[in-house]
Structure 1
Amino acid sequence: MKPKKNPQKDLNKNSTTYFVFGLLLVLSMVYVALEWKTFEPEINYDYSMNTPEGIIEEEPVKDFKVEEPKLKQVLPQEIKIEENDTEVEETEIIAIEVDANTEVLEVSDFEVVEEPDEVEVNWVTIEEVPVFPGCENEKDKRACFNEMMQKHIRKNFRYPELAQEMGLQGRVSTQFIINKDGSIGTIRKRGPHELLEREAARILSKLPKMTPGKQRGTAVKVPFSIPITFKLQ
């Protein structure tokens, strides 16, 4: 059986040689393309051409005369003297220096007036606590006082509208004095904002007059502390 292909006309015979030659040709072209450089022609500009005929003329220096400032003469104001007919009262100063004729007073000549000290007794240690109106017949007057205080706060409590709009809330610590006559004295308060403190003071200022507290049978001042809580729902 004879082969169908002619060995002399084999197309794959020199394919390797052609491939290598083509590859070298392509690489040479790529190298030349990457290494090719071009330069722009160097141009020197003559900036002197921007001025007429290329010459810069200097401006002449002018002489200026400095004039002295003119001083304006200011005349003093005319002083008008007016007669004063107002009578001047003379004050007589009496010397109080001590001399040999000065009378010396004895200690017995002075009257000593003793003013009672303002006694303030703590709520915990006082013998007879102040009595809130309505607690006169209660056995435990301390507990009744606390209960009536809570009722008074709930009854007179008004949450400030501005404080609600600002979202203010918190606890206001308060203290007030029950005077010797049963009236409400100094109110102290401390809280997160002035609006809440002001409302707490307003509530306490509406407290009724009470039976004063007593220590050894004598009416005394009694401080009482209570917190008032403001809480938004």
Structure 2
Amino acid sequence: MRPKKNPQKDLNKKSGMFFVIGLLLVLAMVYTALEWKTFDSLKEYDLALNKTDTSIEEDAPIFQLQVTPPPKPPVLPTEIEIIEDDDPIEETEVIAIEVTPDTEIVDVKDFEVIEEEEEVKVIWSTIEEVPVFPGCENEKDKRACFNDMMQKHIRKNFRYPELAQEMNIEGRVNTTFMIKNDGTIGTIQKRGPHDVLEKEAVRILSKLPKMTPGKQRGSAVKVSFAIPITFKLQ
């Protein structure tokens, strides 16, 4: 029995080669597609737009500054008005100090010398005769009597400030005051924990009576006295 197909025209013999060729073509196309690179196209600019048109002429603007003229000098009046002054003019007599052979010599005894008494201040511990508190005139120890009367005066006039009570303020106020040479109370200095307590201490001391002034070498002098005032809440 003879075959129906021509063996020379049998395509199955070369199918393997065609498959390999096709596979190579596909691989080449895939590789080309993966490695394909694109670049942006270069843009060209027209530089003619940046050129300056020489036909256009521009002049810089000119500013004119106005200068203020200087003020005119005042014109003096042709006539001067004289105003009479009724106030008397006190003239000071000038004594010539030029010495000549005819100058009269003045004796020193003709001048009166006025000596100003130097104000003496003595502290309490060194005063010879302490100031006398009213009521201590007949006491032998006037220092002790003075201290007792001071304590009585403080207790009598003592008043605890309401603001200090509300704020729970307490403490000691150290005070120093001056007994002048006329027996009155002078400057009062104070130092304490609060202004309210200091004002109260000044108020108490300002009520002190006039005293007999202290004496140093028989002359009345100023005497400083220090005493603390304690404010304590019960």
Q: How many residues align?
A: 187
With structure 2 as the length reference, what TM-score do the two structures score? 0.58
Q: 2:83 aligns with which of 78, 83, 86?
A: 86
What residue is the counterpart of 2:8 in the other structure?
none
Q: Deviations over 1:187-223 (max 9, x none)?
A: 2333445554444333222210012223454433222
1:97 aligns with 2:89: no
Residues 133 and 94 from structure 1, CA distance in 2 versus in 1: closer, same or farther, beyond 3 angstroms?
closer
User: Which residue does 1:14 correspond to in 2?
Assistant: none
Tell me what 1:171 maps to: 172
Instruction: Determine the structure 2 residue equivalent to 1:181.
Output: 182
5+ residue gaps, structure 2, are 1-37
CA distance in 2, matches of 1:214, 1:92: 45
Q: Could you say which residue in structure 2 is the equivalent of 1:69?
A: 64
- Whether 2:148 is the aligned partner of 1:147: answer yes
| Cα distance in 2 for residues equivalent to 1:127 and 1:92 | 50
TM-score, length basis structure 1: 0.58
Measure, in 2, the Cα distance between the counterparts of 1:92 and 1:118: 34
Amino acid at match of 2:82: D
Give me the CA root mean square deviation: 4.3
Q: CA deviation at 1:80?
A: 4.5
Measure how far apart 1:58 and its partner are: 6.3
- Cα pair distance change 1:79/1:127, threshold 3 Å: closer
Call closer, same or farther: CA 1:172–1:105 in 2, change over 3 Å.
farther
> Could you tell me how far apart the structure 2 residues matched to 1:217 and 1:231 are?
42
* 1:210 counterpart SS class: coil
Q: Distance in 2 between matches of 1:129 and 1:155?
A: 23
Show structure 1 runs of 5+ residues with no match.
Answer: 1-43
Q: Structure 1's 139 and 75: CA in aligned 2 closer, same or farther, altered over 3 A?
A: closer
> What is aligned with 1:4?
none
Q: For residue 207 of structure 2, what is the amino acid of its counterpart?
A: K
Q: Percent identity?
A: 59
